[in-house]
Amino acid sequence: MAKPVLLTVDDDAEVLRAVERDLRHRYAERYRVLRSDSGAAALEALKGLKKRGDSVALLLVDQRMPQMNGVEFLGQAMQIFPNAKRVLLTAYADTDAAIHAINDARIHHYLLKPWDPPEEHLYPVLDDLLGDWQGSFQPTFEGVRVLGTRWSPHSYTFRDFLARNQAPYQWVDVETADKVAEVRRLVDAVGAVASSLPMVVFPDGSSLANPSIGQLAEKLGLRSRPEVAFYDFVIVGAGPAGLAAAVYGASEGLKTLMIEMEAPGGQAGMSSRIENYLGFPSGLSGGDLARRAVTQARRFGVEILAPQQVTGVRVEGASRMVKLAEGADIGCKALLIATGVSYRKLNVAGAERLQGCGIYYGSAMTEANSCEGEDVYIVGGANSAGQAAMYFSKYARSVVMLVRGDSLSTYMSQYLIDQIKKTPNIHVETHSQVVEAHGDTHLEAISILCSSSGETTTVPTNMLSIFIGAEPNTDWLSGVVERDERGFILTGPDLVRDGKQPAGWPLARNPYWPETSVPGIFAAGDVRHGSVKRVASGVGEGSIAVQFTHQYLSEV
Ligand SMILES: Cc1cc2nc3c(=O)[nH]c(=O)nc-3n(C[C@H](O)[C@H](O)[C@H](O)COP(=O)(O)OP(=O)(O)OC[C@H]3O[C@@H](n4cnc5c(N)ncnc54)[C@H](O)[C@@H]3O)c2cc1C
């Protein structure tokens, strides 16, 4: 495959040569560096690249150019290569224009001239952006291919699993084989028949017919067995809280194991765009955040088992033992439970039967492409529903948000409410709830009850995305640590009632702030009673838990 392109554009020949030289110096091994001396010439070059099926990773463009300035050029270039990272090169005097461009022209970054030394002012920014681009770049024919049918829940599970584990894949809907010659050729070549679907074809030409997630994970080289039997620190759950704890724990010398039953990133990994996380002014997707955090954790030597579920915990003297779904036990000195929450299910007729074939929980980003030109319905009125509505609005003909209350404002951040108001194909229907889902092999329609008029209407749709709150799945901790009536784990001050320590607490001191009713077992993030359900607070709690882990370890 041809190397992806980095294109730089500047009308000043000297500056253009200097940028090209610096780009080549660092990136020539992995990318092709091209240059243009005007916006018009650069657009022509991009059209040529598109025709040849090339990929463009970065556009680095001067703002002040005659005829077409940098922002205007990037606006047009985006139509040709929407995924290329867009960076504006500006003089100090143009800083304000550049900041506006982040919002208006969706520029990813602006750099000030001069950028010397590039090691300090140019490469760190570009490394980061290119890392991001690589994370979502899907080489068409070199990754894993999943063959299946759109309405198969099993196919959806695979696509979701691969996407959340950052494994680039190509989805091939075999039902299009009659219309798309390339699909027909592939189906015939791998011998895909109804009973072998979904089928996963690997870059080395091997394939698995209708495999389990475990078989798929093993083939992809994901690790599900620990290297050793005992660790300093074990973390259950690789959402923001678990990942932060892993980074801090391992970087401070604890031999750390993190166990995740689905894919690193947790709920945050399902978010199409997190806009309120500090340090990312133009937002980032949950997938990006997860990928960065996993890289950081691995760099500090964290061992990650995924997918692997923890099904039990017990105390043996000074050891905390966790039981894996596969049956093995792992011991540790200190344990952190960061298992977050999972979606509450919609309890109406038809919903369970049609889950995965038209009804999805979470943002179901993998399904957005199939909604091109369709009418999508979203249940829920909080931030996660709002983000999904914004995401689907780029693909669907219309997005209808069904909200039980009388407005969005109760649970949604103002920035999202503003974005939704400005998006013409999103409609909000208040006082509305789904009462039935219809369809045989896949979702075909839903019935909606309007609580103010008492009327029920049935509307056709193939896509219902549900965000109706979440609950902690902590029954496996029953009888081990104290939980509240909804299953959230009690920690620190919440365990001490009328000055009395929790039953069975063996120490003179009270439980530390993130410590559960068992010394050395901590809880952080959404699963903790009273926690703020946000990415940043999960990250904060995970980091703080490590501090208390050290204190605990110094006592035993
Ligand atoms: C679609 C969506 C959009 C969101 N957008 C934003 C936003 O823009 N800004 C914001 O601040 N917050 C947002 N949130 C909320 C935020 O993502 C959560 O508050 C945050 O992810 C909580 O982190 P956590 O680590 O506590 O738990 P989680 O993210 O829930 O992670 C817990 C992990 O533990 C794993 N796990 C559970 N049980 C087990 C077990 N027994 N064994 C092994 N692993 C287990 C789960 O698979 C999961 O990966 C959003 C949430 C969703 C769903």
Is the per-residue pLDDT at 98 higher than 80?
Answer: no
Is the per-residue pLDDT at 143 higher than 60?
Answer: yes
Q: In this predicted model, which residue has the larger pLDDT, 390 or 99?
A: 390
Q: How far is the CA of 338 from the centre of ligand 1 (A)?
A: 9
Q: How far is the CA of 469 from the centre of ligand 1 (A)?
A: 12
Q: In this predicted model, which residue has the larger pLDDT, 221 or 353?
A: 353
Is the per-residue pLDDT at 378 higher than 60?
Answer: yes
Residue range 315-322: mean pLDDT, rounded: 96
CB of 284 closer than 6 angstroms to any ligand 1 atom: no
pLDDT score recorded for residue 140: 52
Q: How far is the CA of 267 from the centre of ligand 1 (A)?
A: 3
pLDDT score recorded for residue 141: 52
CB of 383 closer than 6 angstroms to any ligand 1 atom: yes
Q: What percent of the chain has pLDDT over 90?
A: 64
CB of 292 closer than 6 angstroms to any ligand 1 atom: no
Q: Parallel, antiparallel, or unpaired for β 230-236 and 329-337?
A: parallel
Pocket test for ligand 1, best of 258, 324, 339 (most atoms within 8 A of CB): 339
Inter-axis angle of helices 286-299 and 153-164, nearest 10: 50
CB of 276 closer than 6 angstroms to any ligand 1 atom: yes
CB of 165 closer than 6 angstroms to any ligand 1 atom: no
Confidence of residue 139 (pLDDT cuts 50, 70, 90): low
CB of 234 closer than 6 angstroms to any ligand 1 atom: no
pLDDT score recorded for residue 510: 97
**Among the ranges given (98-112, 314-328, 330-344), the one the predictor scored with the smallest mean pLDDT:** 98-112
CB of 384 closer than 6 angstroms to any ligand 1 atom: yes
Residue range 126-131: mean pLDDT, rounded: 93
Q: Which two tokens stand for residue 425?
A: 């194909």
State pLDDT tens for residues 445-469: 999 999 999 999 999 999 999 999 8
> Model-level pTM?
0.74
Instruction: Supply the Cα-derived Rg of the chain in whole angstroms.
Output: 26
Q: How far is the CA of 538 from the centre of ligand 1 (A)?
A: 8
Q: How far is the CA of 162 from the centre of ligand 1 (A)?
A: 18
pLDDT score recorded for residue 242: 98
State pLDDT tens for residues 216-275: 988 888 887 899 999 999 999 999 999 999 999 999 999 999 999 999 999 888 787 888
Instruction: State how far the Cα of 403 lies from the Cα of 382, in Å rounded to an integer.
Output: 9
Render 93-120 in DSSP notation, one character per residue.
GGHHHHHHHHHHS--SEEEESP--SHHH
Q: How far is the CA of 264 from the centre of ligand 1 (A)?
A: 10
Q: Which two tokens stand for residue 328?
A: 């093995």
CB of 259 closer than 6 angstroms to any ligand 1 atom: yes
Instruction: State how far the Cα of 284 lies from the Cα of 264, in Å rounded to an integer.
Output: 16
Sign for the pseudo-dihedral over CA of 120, 121, 124, 127: negative
CB of 535 closer than 6 angstroms to any ligand 1 atom: yes
State pLDDT tens for residues 161-194: 888 887 878 888 999 989 887 788 778 878 888 8
Is the per-residue pLDDT at 338 higher than 70?
Answer: yes
pLDDT score recorded for residue 51: 66
Instruction: State how far the Cα of 172 lies from the Cα of 149, in Å rounded to an integer.
Output: 8
Instruction: Of 421, 360, 419, 409, give the one whose Cα is nearest residue 382.
Output: 409
